[in-house]
Amino acid sequence: MTDMPSFGILCCGKDINELALSVKCCGRITAIMKNGGFILAGYHTAITQNDNPEGKKLCGEKLYHLAKNCDVLFTIGSDGFHKDDIIPDITVKLCRSEAVFFTSNLCGASHIGNYDKGKRSQISFCPSRSRAGILDSCLVLNMRNDMDFIDCTLPALLPSVSFAISGLTGKNVADSRIIMQSLRNICEKNANLKPIFLDNIQN
């Protein structure tokens, strides 16, 4: 049994093309989380279609099961405005409360990670209904299946994710030298993230 924090991924798509993109994004999230000192505890893929009650129910059951076995659960895909983008609705239904700070960053209300980059607007170009919530002692985060968004946002959010896990699970993530050192290494490789990382640690 390990005291290291664990993560899980529910990889979704309303069709095979979106699912394929989501799978690629899962690989990126997995790499970032493992480099941050987290261990993978569960993974599942699902096609999400609103007119398929059985499939929708199964997706909810998988989200619930993964959350029961992970400290933080990422969902990828099916978080937009298409009728089959049902992950935010399932997240809200299953979670006992919303994690507003994370929701604001994931849906685009905040600009953590400088996602804009002066090239395109995070809010207008890539809108999302992403939600974040707490299911028992698990933090659930709806991520977009967008590589740029993941690369710019997830490393910057890791200190806050660790802080939330510490409160939810009692695991003292802040004392985990491997996580903090990994975060510093990530920021050393990306100079743009360094001030964001330091701000999160100091706050």
Q: What is the pLDDT of residues 10-41, one digit of tens each?
A: 999 999 999 999 999 999 999 999 888 889 99
Q: Kindly state the tokens that stand for 53.
A: 């009650």
> Strands across the sheet with 72-76, in order?
39-47, 6-13, 72-76, 138-143, 132-135, 97-98
Task: List the chain domain ranges.
Answer: 6-202
Distance from the first to the final alpha carbon of the chain: 31
- pTM of the complete model beyond 0.75: yes
Q: Which of 148, 126, 27 is closest to 79 using CA atoms?
A: 126
6-202: CATH topology is Molybdenum Cofactor Biosythetic Enzyme; Chain A (3.40.980)
CB atoms within 10 A of CB 167: 12
51, 67, 68 from 54: Cα distances, Å: 9, 20, 21
How high is the mean pLDDT of the chain?
Answer: 83
